[in-house]
Structure 1
Amino acid sequence: MTTPLHRALQALERFNATHPWDHNAHYHRWIVRQLPRRFGSALDVGCGSGDLARRLARRARTVCGIDSDPGITARARELTPAAAPVTFVTADALTEFPAGSYDVITCVAVLHHLPSAEALALFRRHLAPGGTLVVLGVARAATPYDFLLSAVAAPLNALMGWARNRGRTAPRPVSMTTTTRPAEESFPDIVRQARAVLPGARLRRRLFWRYTLVWRNR
């Protein structure tokens, strides 16, 4: 027999499924605010349908978006105006990382799919002097604060879905068509690894089951 709490959670899950919204895109404006007003080259790792890459192109001379899913990179190209200084490449983030250095590297909801310390070291090697790395990540809830933040986020998540869809049932956004897997590392795990690889990195837990990492290659 199901409990009232279980039934409530099922109802909330059904509500969220009919009023979906993109938690990652919610932070795109914040990501851009961490960057210079103008910069040369940018790399978006795990670009998905290209929403963030197109936003970066408003400030960058050139933007490259990479994703391991050929279907989603094809969709990103379809959604991007021909005149935009953006290219999309199907590539593995670790074994086929684009050569060269970049003034900006962004990585949204991808780090938990990779060996995080190895990936962060790779980003550091390809970040130009003076460049900025911004990561929006997903971590496993492990501490009392994590669970408290999740409890706060759950009703806010439903309210955001309702407001963004103006109370109407809506399909999943194109940017949410790719699958993801649960994070295995906790936020404290990420903090330890990041500070070992990126001295001075700033990390912070965020609402809606995310954290942010900002590092400048001074």
Structure 2
Amino acid sequence: MKILSPCVLRALERFNAAYPWDHNARYHRWILRQLPQRFRRAADIGSGSGDLARLLARRADSVTAVDVDPVITAQAQKLTPASLPVTFTVADAVADSPEGSYDVITCVAAVHHLPFAQVLTTFRSHMAPGGTLVIVGLSRAQTPVDHVLGVLAIPANAAMGWLKNKGRPSPRPTSMTAPTRAADMTFADIVRETGTLLPGARLRRRLFWRYTLVWHQP
């Protein structure tokens, strides 16, 4: 479904490149509101530049931050004060998943890089009783609702970029420099598979081409 002409899309891409902002960081405060004020162990999967891991570390006894990219993981380590209880690990979230159980597992804009059913099963197996899983993910637009949300996000995205950069062109944040790929699962696919693997999970479409998933281990 094509809504904007290629000429308009190219103009928007140039604008967004000049005034970038981190869509994922917008959800960090929302993620924290889904979690207890204090918890023992947390894992942040696809931790990137470590922004969310550092926020979790202010509430946790320990945080394991996992990312497959060694370059951005090294940058995250440098940005993290030694006083924060964060351990950065270069690993595949499925093949080399962190050992033990966690009270909190978060994953932002990384699940679409992984085999969905397998990664949800892995998260479930590492969740402590009463623990919380929070995912912010990307889905492939398919329905009219998806496309309407996408259209609404376009001017909002440009406005946010302008405001966050105070009207001045800016380099891309470190957290936005990691390789990305398009999502291949629709929101309906995600809801169906999640219902089988994580009964009771709450899923919602969100603005800026995202959805959220919250699940509590019984």
Is the structural similarity TM-score above 0.5?
yes
Give the aligned partner of residue 10 of structure 1: 10
Percent of residue pairs identical: 63
Aligned residues: 215
In 2: Cα distance, 1:11 partner to 1:20 partner: 14
- TM-score scaled by length of structure 1: 0.97
In 2: Cα distance, 1:21 partner to 1:172 partner: 7
Deviations 1:164-189 (A, max 9, x none): 00000000001011011000000000
In 2: Cα distance, 1:76 partner to 1:102 partner: 21
**Correspondence 1:4-153 to 2 at 5 A:** 5-153=5-153
Structure 2 segments unaligned to the other structure (5+ residues) = none
Paired amino acid for 2:211: Y
In 2: Cα distance, 1:154 partner to 1:179 partner: 22
In 2: Cα distance, 1:180 partner to 1:11 partner: 21
In 1: Cα distance, 2:66 partner to 2:143 partner: 33
Give the aligned partner of residue 193 of structure 1: 193
Question: What is the CA distance between 1:5 and its match in structure 2?
Answer: 3.4
**Correspondence 1:143-182 to 2 at 5 A:** 143-182=143-182
Question: What is the CA distance between 1:11 and its match in structure 2?
Answer: 1.4
In 2: Cα distance, 1:42 partner to 1:90 partner: 16
Paired amino acid for 1:27: Y
- TM-score scaled by length of structure 2: 0.97
Q: Secondary structure at the match of 1:88?
A: strand
Paired amino acid for 2:81: P
Question: What is the CA distance between 1:9 and its match in structure 2?
Answer: 2.1
Question: What is the CA distance between 1:72 and its match in structure 2?
Answer: 1.0
Structure 1 segments unaligned to the other structure (5+ residues) = none
Aligned alpha-carbon RMSD (Å): 0.9
